[in-house]
Amino acid sequence: MFNAPDAMPAGRVAPAALDSLSREILELKRSLNAVILAHNYQVAEIQDVADFVGDSLGLARQAARTSADVIVFCGVHFMAETAKILNPSKHVLLPDLDAGCSLESSCPGSKLRALQGTNPNFWTIAYINCSAEVKALADCICTSGNAVKIVNAAPKDRDLLFVPDENLGGWVMEQTGRPMTLWKGDCYVHVEWTHAAITRIRQLHPGAPVVAHPECPKAVRMLADEVCSTEKMVTWCRSTPAKDIIIATEAGMLHRLKKECPDKNFIPAPTDRCACNECRFMKMNTLEKVRDCMANRTPEIQLPPEIAARARVSIERMLEISGRD
Residues within the interface to ligand 13P (CB under 6 A): 40, 55-56, 129, 143-145, 187, 213, 215, 229-230
Which of 22/322 has CB closer to ligand 13P? 322
Which of 204/275 has CB closer to ligand 13P? 275
**Residues binding ligand SF4: number (CB under 6 A):** 13
Site string for ligand SF4, 128-147 (x = CB under 6 A): -x------------------
CA distance 322 to 324: 7
Q: Which of residues 58-87 bind ligand SF4 (CB under 6 A)?
A: 76
Three-state helix/strand/coil letters over 295-314: HHCCCECCCCHHHHHHHHHH
Q: How many CB atoms lie within 10 A of CB 152?
A: 13
**In the complex, least distance from residue 75 CB atom to ligand SF4, rounded to whole angstroms:** 8
Q: Select the span of 10-18, 29-37, 135-143, 277-285 touching ligand SF4 (CB under 6 A).
A: 277-285
* Region class of 73: left (phi > 0), else alpha (psi between -120 and 50), else beta: beta
* Run of H or E including 9: strand 7-9
Which option in ligand SF4, ligand 13P, none does residue 281 bind, with CB closer than 5 to 8 A by kind?
Answer: ligand SF4
**In the complex, least distance from residue 72 CB atom to ligand SF4, rounded to whole angstroms:** 18
Q: How far is CA 189 from the centre of its chain?
A: 13
Which of 208/250 has CB closer to ligand SF4? 250
Q: Do 235 and 229 contact (CB within 8 A), yes or no?
A: no
122 strand-pairing partners: 159
Which of 229/322 has CB closer to ligand 13P? 229
For residue 250, state whether it binds ligand SF4 (rule: CB under 6 A).
yes
CA distance 90 to 219: 43
**In the complex, least distance from residue 143 CB atom to ligand 13P, rounded to whole angstroms:** 5
Q: Do 232 and 148 contact (CB within 8 A), yes or no?
A: no
Which of 26/191 has CB closer to ligand 13P? 191
Which of 9/100 has CB closer to ligand SF4? 100
Residue 40 dihedral angles phi and psi, to the nearest 5°:
-60, -15
Residue 127 dihedral angles phi and psi, to the nearest 5°:
-60, 140
Pick from 41, 34, 32, 38: nearest CA to 13: 38
Pick from 170, 252, 248: nearest CA to 209: 248
CA distance 26 to 49: 7
Considering only residues 103, 142, 290, 315, which one is a binding residue for ligand SF4 as defined by CB under 6 A? 103
Considering only residues 92, 161, 182, 189, which one is a binding residue for ligand SF4 as defined by CB under 6 A? 189
**In the complex, least distance from residue 2 CB atom to ligand 13P, rounded to whole angstroms:** 18
For residue 55, state whether it binds ligand SF4 (rule: CB under 6 A).
no
**In the complex, least distance from residue 294 CB atom to ligand SF4, rounded to whole angstroms:** 22
Q: Do 28 and 291 contact (CB within 8 A), yes or no?
A: yes
Considering only residues 187, 212, 257, 293, which one is a binding residue for ligand SF4 as defined by CB under 6 A? 187
Per CB under 6 A, residues contacting ligand SF4 are: 76, 101-103, 129, 187-189, 215, 250, 279, 281-282
